[in-house]
Chains A and B, each alone.
Chain A
């Protein structure tokens, strides 16, 4: 990237304008306030000069010449004319040509009303065409994937979509085919455009050639209302614009934002909104009656919860969840549990994440944007393409286009292996030994170790699989910390999990990145909240075993579905059945809330405003655009009612008021208010703590000596992007995209077991399920891979050891 000293001056329509050397003319002009019409140029992609719409006149030694401004770098003293008669004539000519074969579909075209081709024809077009010949005809929209339609008649061959899939997402499954007058965009025969990022091509297509199936004919741009918000599909928190029509969210688009998503989204971010308006959403409080539920009034449900929570000692109550809520809701839950119920047993994670202190307060902590400048990236954690798709794009960009060296350590081939400098496979359980070998640079890892010696290093650490020890991530971070100029990014996926941890929804944390053992901070909080429970609470698994053993009696599920997200569903079931009383705050009747005694319907994404915190500690605002359905309401207001019914008070009279309270009592969040996030630079989010505010807890990662486990077969159980989670299940556009459940085996292991691809085996851990075998050479030898939380594998969870029995055809 050029630095500030490379300034050049150009003459733009008679004005002297400063630009950065090497910058493209079109970008320099836009920065200087002169818009140059264009179709194919996209600021986040390399220029191709396909559409010729951006022609300008540039002074050359041989006189003025028409040049495409999207391919012309600025040079000192350049004299440019963007609106001369010649340029105008060129615009008219290009548009007349583009429209020769363009259908008159505008009234039925999903792009109509926000179409760059319409706008530019109106602004720069000839007004009339001399071409009266029959237009080119193609079959009207053809389905090129489960989410995208292609109308080839409307395509203007700008190559934005093909460049995106090649350059940015790295799955080049659409290309130009045929030649001359017959060129069209299409997929390869029998290979649909299966990409986790296909929706981006719809957003950047300058015409209505690529349209999204879920949005097809749902609304027109002029009846859309929009608010800025952030996607809560994963903890990257991509900036989005949420668009609604008639009180229904109908579209989510990516917003260009340097710190997080650079404008891109995954298809899950983009299309997940459909669950919000699912007919299966809960709209009234439910109270258990025998095996079923009956509908109840809020007064009755709140009264019952208050009565049952008040009937046992505080420490017999535990709370799980909060990672899907806003910071305000999480804060209200934390305050409610700690100061009204008075229990320390709280956990926003489901034993599927990392140590809360490490995740919330690791030091030194990396920002996503550090990837732009990183010389080396060490990724030892989940497959980013499956769990953090937008972060995958950022890492891919760093490795493929910005020259960073990328080291990927994972038990199986990952989406990033193609651009990685080094990949290391290891058997799950043997991570600690692999780490020791890597740190020492032993044997075949010498080259990998050497690659890590150039800073700045960004280490992305998380759990590669749910069957692995979570402490491994911290051990990796402890190693990475000593690499040159290293920063560390802990990877925990779920929605607003970092916000929940920061609000104290962890057994060891209090709001604002404070350890529960920090007496000074405790006292300060007690001044606000009243007496806090003594000691450190139990985490999710401890809470669940406590319910089974009878140490705990009451459980509050705060938007959590442990039956699906905890690695041990058998334990969860027995815990929920053993519990004396379970109250669930939920959007749907999930496998977990189905076992509750009271289910309270809460507002979803887009139905409440609040703040959220992403994996780098960036606080951003989510906004409301539609009302919650039926009687569903914001979780904080339900908690406030329960607190009142229990004779206490949360003082929660509004989400903004809760935000002000957080900005006052949570040290790391001191001074961060909605006002700051709504305007100006704050719209890009604010990384807490603000300069000057203090963060009491800075967690330096340490290797706590994680034991190496050698279990055969070693189990690798990891999430896939489209699993069978409650939101996806209720999202018609995405529900069918889950991969086929299977057990993956290394070819050598399969030959030992004498199974072939497609054979069925019985996989047993806590439960047994029959799964087909997939031979997967991308897997470490001696390991099997079972995707977590698919319909067929949900019962298994993520066991640390399994038994495999081959189902022989003749035996049945």
Chain B
């Protein structure tokens, strides 16, 4: 009998193939067609502003300190008193991320005390020159109206709309440090793409803890 089982063996393997032939196909015609990514997708970073236009980054270097790939370089400086860049004493006057080294782990986003750095859904960042892979404040910081900048123009590969999908992280992690929000999903407005209505949960916490939000 064993000769019969030996002959059947390969056909058993083909059974998998035959079964797959009748399943729905999932190939996406990238780049003409793009899949919807999960809300907290780890794409390129942006540096956000407050709705009043102030930069959120305070140059604290926590993101640089946590970065396992050591690809972030931040230097802080005193805020000019008459034209402050960010609220408080200090602002990030140099901010660079080397995208070739970045492993898109999102640790910087978690470390940031002000939600200044967040990740978007855009991952198409190929360059022909290594230096261009170092994103500076010019590329990272959003315009005062919240529009993100990108070094390459929109094209078949680059959908700049994806840059606007940028605050999934905020929705998941923002705590704004207020006791009344303990255990609740809270959200601080991000200027990445303008103010958004608060998520469920924030209004649920009937807040009057004497602390104004950030």
Contact = CB atoms under 8 A, between A and B. Distances in A.
Contact of A108 (B76, B179, B209, B210): B76
B59 interface: yes
Contacts of B61: 219-220, 222-223
A107 B92 CA distance: 12
B90 A223 contact: no
A220 B210 contact: no
Contacts of B77: 217
Interface string B172-214: 0000010100000000000000000000000000000111000
Contacts of B73: 246
B76 A217 contact: yes
Interface in A209-225: 216-217, 219-220, 222-223
Residue among A106, A217, A222 facing the most chain B CB atoms (10 A cut-off): A217
A132 interface: yes
Interface residues of A, number: 18
Contact of B210 (A132, A216, A223): A132
A809 B150 CA distance: 69
Interface in A540-591: none
A132 B177 contact: no
Interface string B72-85: 01001110000000
A141 B65 CA distance: 25
Contacts of B59: 108, 217
A108 B114 CA distance: 11
Given A108-B60, A112-B60, A132 B90 contact: no
Residue among A107, A112, A113, A246 facing the most chain B CB atoms (10 A cut-off): A107
Contact of A216 (B60, B78, B88, B209): B78
A104 interface: yes
Nearest to B114: A107
Nearest to B111: A107
A113 B73 CA distance: 17
Contact of A107 (B58, B78, B209, B210): B58
B113 interface: yes
Contacts of B210: 132-134
Interface string A513-534: 0000000000000000000000
A132 B89 contact: no
Interface string A92-117: 00000000000010111000110000
Contacts of B113: 106-107
Nearest to A128: B179
Given A107-B60, A108-B58, A220-B65, A132 B209 contact: yes
Residue among A133, A134, A216, A246 facing the most chain B CB atoms (10 A cut-off): A216
Given A141-B89, A216-B78, A132 B65 contact: no
A132 B179 contact: yes
A294 interface: no
Contacts of B71: none
What's the dominant secondary structure at chain A's contact region?
A: loop
Given A141-B89, A217-B90, A132 B62 contact: no
Contacts of A219: 61
A222 B89 contact: no
Nearest to B93: A217
B78 A217 contact: yes
A216 B79 CA distance: 12
A44 interface: no
B107 to A, nearest CB: 13
A222 to B, nearest CB: 4
A140 interface: yes
A126 to B, nearest CB: 13
B47 interface: no
B146 to A, nearest CB: 23
A216 B90 CA distance: 10
A220 B60 contact: yes
Contacts of A140: 89
Interface string A220-256: 1011000000000000000000000010000000000
Contacts of A216: 78
A150 to B, nearest CB: 13
Contacts of B76: 108, 217
A532 to B, nearest CB: 53
A655 B209 CA distance: 64
B81 to A, nearest CB: 10
B108 interface: no
Contacts of A141: 89
B119 interface: no
B75 to A, nearest CB: 8
B111 to A, nearest CB: 10
Contacts of B114: 107
A435 to B, nearest CB: 55
A108 B89 contact: yes
A484 B73 CA distance: 62
A104 B177 CA distance: 10
Interface in B42-74: 58-62, 64-65, 73
Interface in B112-156: 113-114
Residue among B58, B59, B90 facing the most chain A CB atoms (10 A cut-off): B90
Interface string A119-153: 00000000000001110000011000000000000
B153 to A, nearest CB: 33
Nearest to A216: B78
A185 to B, nearest CB: 19
Nearest to A221: B65
A298 to B, nearest CB: 30
A134 B60 CA distance: 24
A805 B89 CA distance: 52
Nearest to A129: B179
A441 B90 CA distance: 63
A413 to B, nearest CB: 39
B60 A222 contact: no
Nearest to B177: A104
B11 to A, nearest CB: 62
A181 B107 CA distance: 40
Given A132-B210, A134-B210, A108 B90 contact: yes
A143 to B, nearest CB: 12
A381 B210 CA distance: 63
Contacts of A223: 61, 64-65
Contacts of A106: 113
B174 to A, nearest CB: 15
Nearest to B64: A223
A348 to B, nearest CB: 40
Contacts of A246: 73
Contacts of A107: 58, 60, 62, 113-114
A108 B88 contact: yes
Nearest to A113: B65
A57 to B, nearest CB: 32
A622 to B, nearest CB: 28
Residue among A104, A140, A141, A223 facing the most chain B CB atoms (10 A cut-off): A223
A108 B74 CA distance: 13
A227 to B, nearest CB: 20
A326 B179 CA distance: 58
Contacts of A133: 210
Contacts of A222: 61, 65
A132 B211 CA distance: 8
A654 B53 CA distance: 56
Contacts of A108: 58-60, 76, 88-90
Interface in B87-117: 88-90, 113-114
Contacts of B211: 132
Given A108-B76, A133-B210, A223-B65, 9 more contacts: A107-B62, A108-B89, A113-B65, A132-B209, A132-B211, A134-B210, A217-B77, A220-B61, A220-B65
16 contacts: A107-B58, A107-B113, A107-B114, A108-B60, A108-B76, A108-B88, A108-B90, A132-B179, A132-B211, A134-B210, A217-B76, A217-B77, A217-B78, A220-B61, A220-B65, A222-B61
Interface of B: 58-62, 64-65, 73, 76-78, 88-90, 113-114, 177, 179, 209-211
